[in-house]
Amino acid sequence: MKIIMLGAPGAGKGTQAKQIAAKFSIPHISTGDIFRANIKENTELGKKAKEYMDQGMLVPDSLTLELIMDRFANADCANGYVLDGFPRTNPQAEALTKALADKGEKIDFAINVEVPDESIVNRMSGRRACLTCGATYHIKYNAPAKENICDTCGEELVLRDDDKPETVLKRLSVYHEQTQPLIDYYKNEGVLREVDGTQDMNKVFDDILAILQ
């Protein structure tokens, strides 16, 4: 089962992706994790990606796709995967469709977690991140046991710059311009499914399971 998660930043698609991955014993693949893993392991692709990232540039689509297809070749992807954070644009989606088709494969479901902008701004301003271990929390929905302290490693939690309301609004504007067309793309491919992301997280997950099963 090959699944793509769609939704605006802060819609909760990452949380749902992890739950889907755990439920079906398939890997949750995020582009950020792939970049970090390849850079850490000093692979050839990782070195190329690092050159762009060190200059503050976006990693080109072709290299990102190469890294993703390389990740798909791992044994843990034999039964599928949940892809989170890619594709972000129609050209990326088209390139991914072609790369998979060349291997006789295709995406089974593109799940769009629908949340209005206003809800996202409220949600994201409540997020807190641990810069040491990468764990994320929410002061209302997923609070740490001790206020502003990471449950995992005990370091202090911060409100990241990209979770501040003014930044969130900018990110949403980019999302609507670039990524919203993906919804039409996957609708045309016949694999788009939509869920109401404003519900309780467990209800959202139940709705996704109903689609996948």
Using left for φ > 0, alpha for ψ between -120 and 50, and beta otherwise, residue 115 falls in: beta
Number of domains within the chain? 1
Token code pair at residue 167: 């930044």
Return the pLDDT at 160.
87
State the average pLDDT for the chain: 92
Average pLDDT of span 94-109: 96
Question: Which amino acid, residue 203?
Answer: K
CA–CA gap between residue 24 and residue 162 (Å, rounded)? 31
Q: Note whether residue 181 is domain-resident.
A: no
Catalytic residue among 23, 50, 88, 164: 88
Q: Is residue 131 part of a domain?
A: no
Residue 91 lies in a domain: yes
Q: Is residue 81 part of a domain?
A: yes
- Any domain includes 17: yes
Residue 1's pLDDT band (cuts 50, 70, 90): very high
Concerning whether 36 is annotated as a catalytic residue, the answer is no
List the end-to-end C-alpha distance of the chain, in Å, as a whole number: 11
Within 41-83, residue ranges assigned H as helices are 44-54, 61-72
Q: Quick check: is 166 in a domain?
A: no
Q: What is the mean predicted confidence (pLDDT) over 52-62?
A: 84
Catalytic residue among 18, 171, 187, 193: 171
pLDDT above 90: percentage of residues in the chain:
62
Q: Does residue 68 form part of some domain? A: yes
Residue 97, pLDDT > 90, answer yes
Q: Which residues constitute the domain of residue 46?
A: 2-115+192-212
**pLDDT at res. 175:** 86
Average the pLDDT over 208-213 and give the result: 95
So what's the pLDDT on residue 170?
A: 87
For residue 41, what pLDDT is reported? 92
**CATH number reported for the structural domain that contains residue 106 in this entry:** 3.40.50.300
Q: What confidence category does residue 197 fall into, taking pLDDT thresholds of 50, 70 and 90?
A: very high
> Which residue among the candidates 160, 164, 187, 193 is catalytic per the annotation?
160
| Within-domain flag for 70 | yes
Percent of the chain with pLDDT over 70: 100
Active site residue 123: no
Task: Give the mean model confidence (pLDDT) for residues 172-179.
Answer: 86
Measured distance CA(28)–CA(44) in Å, rounded: 23
Instruction: Judge whether 88 counts as a catalytic residue.
Output: yes
Three-state secondary structure call for residue 140: coil
Report the range of poorest mean pLDDT among 31-35, 71-75, 76-80, 152-156: 31-35
